[in-house]
Amino acid sequence: MRFRAKIVDLACLNHFSRVINTIAKLAKTCTLRLTASKLYFILSDKVANGGISMWCELCQGNFFDEFQMEGVAAEHNEIYLELVPENLSRALKTAQSAKAVKIKLTNKHCPCLRVAVELPTLSSSSRIVTHDIPVGVIPRRLWTDFREPRVPDFDVSLY
């Protein structure tokens, strides 16, 4: 499994940060599903017990300048991670004036999403602030728990 992404455009970074901030307000933990073309933030509490559900689908091309992902296998080219969105939100707060942000899946002592924020300086060198966000890797046998929910067709009219 490999994942690496980079955001250079400040508008894309701000938009991505706002999405993560919203998700962090809704959920203590969520599932991040990575595919070659999309990112999904999923929260699927048991609705029967009063829980909430959330399905957030982002096209990676709308946010990232570089995006490389290799799943667990060729026929299952996806990665499922459990994370605390508040940690990702905090890491992205340091990136408000960044030149670039790199997000990478690492496994030094435990699986982590490494967020490296390249900050501008007055000299020619740049400062890099690194945040390691612990994640849990969800095994393939549990992936069926995170499928897109069925929603009825909506009929909306505005006058």
- Give the CATH fold of the 2-144 domain: Proliferating Cell Nuclear Antigen (3.70.10)
Q: What is the pLDDT of residues 99-108, one digit of tens each?
A: 899 999 999 8
Model-level pTM? 0.85
Q: pLDDT by residue (tens digit) across 5-20? A: 999 999 999 999 999 9
Which residue type sits at 108?
K
Listed by start position, the domains of the chain span 2-144
- SS3 of residue 72 by DSSP: coil
- Max mean pLDDT among 49-53, 116-120, 150-154 falls in 116-120
Q: What is d(CA 23, CA 75) in angstroms, rounded to the nearest whole number?
A: 30
